[in-house]
Structure 1
């Protein structure tokens, strides 16, 4: 919930390689009150079956910068192996599955916030790239 003096943050993850939400990805939320202040971890959550974190903690008053850390390695290890295995079964000459499908084992997104506003920051993810944007 935002007030005139605080901002709020939400996120979700879509695995664009399969066109589905990315479930069970651990997300950490950190904040700081200025560019030179240290980061303070406010909490951790994991994405639900719809790829959303619905229980991220509120930002403290005076927050100017926020960082979302997405732990993607475990997600890709599980999902890329399954996806690659299905492809190999469909194509006899396909390469064997890799040990880890995580070229980016973690994704850290840092952004500025304004008091009184809500910031929804979706992550579009695939094994070899990602993009983010300010949603609504």
Structure 2
């Protein structure tokens, strides 16, 4: 199965391109990493099931004085479908949900 994320800058109304993201297991073992593309997206294939963590380096996008310099999202994949975990980002807040 696959996993994707989409980082959107809700303050500017644009995708957040070039954001560094790590995908780790819940035990902090690196599964993969990369940068969001021009549309703010990043995808991993053949992830498997279990508990995972997306670690988004928001300071790399918002700047060194970011109120939330990093966002960590812990979630569980329990089936073989594609999973999508978006991040809506602004200078002083963020939101996430299970997308499709």
Which of 17, 21, 24 in structure 1 is aligned with 2:11?
A: 17
- After superposition, the CA RMSD in angstroms is 1.4
Pairwise CA distance, 1:115: 2.6
TM-score (norm 2): 0.91
Contact residue 73 and residue 104 of structure 1 kept, 8 A: yes
* 5+ long unaligned stretches in structure 1: 3-7, 33-37, 78-99
Which of 18, 21, 32 in structure 2 is aligned with 1:27?
A: 21
Pairwise CA distance, 1:57: 4.6
Contact residue 57 and residue 69 of structure 2 kept, 8 A: yes
Take 1:24 and 1:67, find their aligned partners in 2: how far apart are those partners? 19
In the alignment, does 2:60 pair up with 1:74? yes
Which of 52, 62, 66 in structure 1 is aligned with 2:41?
A: 52
Take 2:65 and 2:89, find their aligned partners in 1: how far apart are those partners? 12
Moved over 2 A (4+): none
Q: Secondary structure of the residue that 2:61 maps to in structure 1?
A: helix
1:10-54 CA deviation, whole Å, 9 max, x = no partner? 10100000000000000100124xxxxx23111111001100013
Q: Which has the higher strand share?
A: 2
Contact residue 43 and residue 57 of structure 1 kept, 8 A: no
Q: Which has the higher helix share?
A: 1
Match of 1:43 in 2: 32
Take 1:135 and 1:101, find their aligned partners in 2: how far apart are those partners? 29
How many equivalent residue pairs? 100
* 5+ long unaligned stretches in structure 2: none
In the alignment, does 2:64 pair up with 1:64? no
